[in-house]
Amino acid sequence: MQQHPDGPDGDHRRPDGLSDKTVEALGALSKALETTERARGRLYDFHQLTGTADFQLDRAAELLEEAGHPEWAQKVRGEILGRNVIPGHWTFQIVEAYNATYYRPFQQLEASAVEQLADGRDHLLEAELKEQRRTPGHPHHTSRPPVPEE
């Protein structure tokens, strides 16, 4: 690929000898990790929403009592409030298990692959796509952020 003289910084230039297939494979691995990051975010949404609902049950039980339905207030408190979402687990335990069993090992594997196969240079596929798609010389198509003045 032809690179412009003002192309990506050294951290985003392909190391000598790194094949197109390897850059593509590392890009696919990175994209899969990014998808996992999104899934993990949804898991935290689940965790926080379930916790919020559990606290909202306090108000529901209180209102049931005030409305003259103490037996229903007790059912809410005894049957649902503080209940495990799956056997033996509150949502924080699901998040912890996901992080330990899947997320962190995946994150470490991806980082190791980038380190060993691309000399630690991350996002090479994206950097090369940027070079293909930008218009050299256009002020809003610069290859890298401006260097701060000292």
Quick check: helix, strand or coil at residue 86?
A: strand
Q: Is residue 92 part of a domain?
A: yes
Q: Is residue 119 part of a domain?
A: yes
Q: Say what the pLDDT of residue 10 is.
A: 76
Q: Is residue 8 part of a domain?
A: no
Q: Say what the pLDDT of residue 2 is.
A: 44
The whole domain housing 23 covers 19-133
Q: Say what the pLDDT of residue 3 is.
A: 44
Averaged pLDDT in 10-residue chunks for the chain of 150 residues: 62 88 95 97 98 97 98 98 96 98 98 96 89 88 81
Q: Is residue 150 part of a domain?
A: no
pTM value surpassing 0.85: no
Q: Is-contact 19 129, C-beta < 8 A?
A: no
> What is the CB-side half-sphere exposure of residue 11 using CA atoms within 13 A?
4
Q: Is residue 108 part of a domain?
A: yes
Q: Say what the pLDDT of residue 44 is.
A: 98
* Domain count across the chain: 1
